[in-house]
Amino acid sequence: MLDLTRFAYYVPSLSFSFEHDMRARLQNLHLRAQSAFISLQNMSRYPCTSEDVPPIFVERYIIHGYRSLHKPWSYYWKSLFHKHNESINVWSHLTGILYMGYLFYYYNKRLNFFENSHSWPFAVSLSTAIIMFLCSAFAHLLHSKSEKIHLTCFSIDYLGVSLHGFGSGFLHIYYSAPEWYYNKIEYEYIFILLLFGILACFLNCFAQDYFSRPYPPLKRVCQFSGCAVLWMYSVIPLIARLFPLNFPLDSTLMCHFGQILFFIIGSILFGFDLPQRFCPGSLDFIGQGHQLFHLCIYLVTVLQMHGVYWDYEDKRTIIDQRTKPDLIFCAGSMLSLLLWNIVTVWYFRRRLREKNCHEK
């Protein structure tokens, strides 16, 4: 039975007036939040610092929370549930996998992927998004085992990035592009997109192979240029759709505008090591630019899927009158890019083995 006497004892002590010193309360709240944030940055379980690991594992302005090398695989798998400087990077994209899986189920019920051939580009893009999140999550989880594993993991990560860039463009041209643009460049667009996807993976793997720590700025230029060209080409249909930009935008155009904006913001934070550049060692666990970039990519993908679905709903009568997409064209283009990227990753891993043999 509820003890009302105890409840009555505490009620009088609660004050709902504004006579208290609000400034003191806010300062106290700020100190508690600051203390909690500092405790999150305390890397007690993985005490390795940037001085304890080889330079290839060191991220600029990230000092604490590195995992030890050459441990059993179980050490890295178990680190999924522990705190280190890659925890947020792993979980942000594991969450992406779960949400993209949910969207696959959700949109399949509405679009019927298995019978509606006009929905196949949507299924292709959802699949590439899941692959991208999967590659990234496991790259960040397992790369610390050794230098060879580190290079292999992030080569596979670049494969996923390339594949998702291709899937995004495939989605945009088929559902979101203005009809005049789609009719003018449909198949040529996909072919060029495929070439840019191969180029993005190749340049990232090449930069990783050619440059060594401490990396010169040219490495990032090489990596970013391939991804930037792929991304810019993939959003041309959206820009054609958005131009001229007349506010207020409806919900669909807001999604398209938002995904472009979030990608630019995330790329700037990642490319210029913001905000950890201004406070080295203070954002090792949470708040570093790479983590914010992951969050932006997650938002980009969510906005992309919802915006394009609404485009399909709005233009369904037009889209359904087009020539039905060929399954071999939809799945085959994705699989051909995947195959080319696997060959690229294999080639540069082979070069790595040869280098190690020569050094020995």
SS3 category, 211: coil
Encode pLDDT of 153-168 as tens digits: 999 999 999 999 999 9
Q: Which of 347, 352, 346 is nearest to 148 (CA)?
A: 352
Residue 174 CA to residue 325 CA, distance in Å, equals 10
Q: Which residue, 280, 284, 290, 277, is CA-closest to 41?
A: 284
Pairing label, strands 64-66, 48-49: antiparallel
Q: How far is it between the farthest Cα atoms of the chain?
A: 81
**Residue 35's pLDDT band (cuts 50, 70, 90):** low
Helices (H), the chain: 4-10, 22-41, 73-78, 87-111, 120-142, 147-171, 179-210, 217-234, 236-242, 251-271, 289-314, 316-319, 327-359
Percentage with pLDDT > 90 across the chain: 60
Q: What pLDDT band is residue 39 in, cutting at 50, 70 and 90? A: low
Q: What is the pLDDT of residues 91-105, one digit of tens each?
A: 999 999 999 999 999
Report the top-level CATH class of 86-359.
Answer: mainly alpha
Per-residue confidence (pLDDT) for residue 122, from 0 to 100: 92
Stated pTM of the model:
0.85
pLDDT at residue 43 greater than cutoff 60: no
Tens-digit pLDDT profile for residues 71-93: 999 999 999 998 899 999 999 99
Q: According to the 3-state scheme, what is the secondary structure of 273-304?
A: CCCHHHCCCCCCCCCCHHHHHHHHHHHHHHHH
Cβ-based neighbours of 235, under 8 Å, separated by 6 or more: 168, 169, 172, 260
pLDDT at 9: 47
172 is in an annotated binding site: no
pLDDT tens string 195-242 = 999 999 999 999 988 887 777 888 888 988 999 999 999 999 999 988
Summarised one tens digit per residue, pLDDT across range 57-74 is 999 999 999 999 999 999
What is the per-residue pLDDT for 17?
46
Q: What angle do CA 166, 169, 175 make, to 5 degrees?
A: 140
* pLDDT score recorded for residue 38: 59
Mean pLDDT, residues 285-302: 95
Q: Residues 244, 257: contact at Cβ < 8 Å?
A: no
How far are the Cα atoms of 49, 115, 165, 208, 212 from residue 68, in angstroms, in the given order?
Answer: 10, 50, 33, 22, 21
User: With left for phi above 0 and alpha for psi between -120 and 50, is residue 42 left, alpha or beta?
Assistant: beta
Per-residue pLDDT band for 21 (boundaries 50, 70, 90) equals low
Q: What is the pLDDT of residue 40?
A: 54
Joined tokens for residue 159: 């494969």
**What pLDDT was estimated at residue 24?**
76
Q: Which residue has the tokens 């051909």?
A: 336
- 82 marked as binding residue: no
How far apart are the C-alpha atoms of 256 and 263, rounded to whole Å? Answer: 11
Please give the mean pLDDT across all residues of the chain.
87
- Model pLDDT, residue 163: 95
Q: Which of 192, 204, 96 is nearest to 156 (CA)?
A: 204
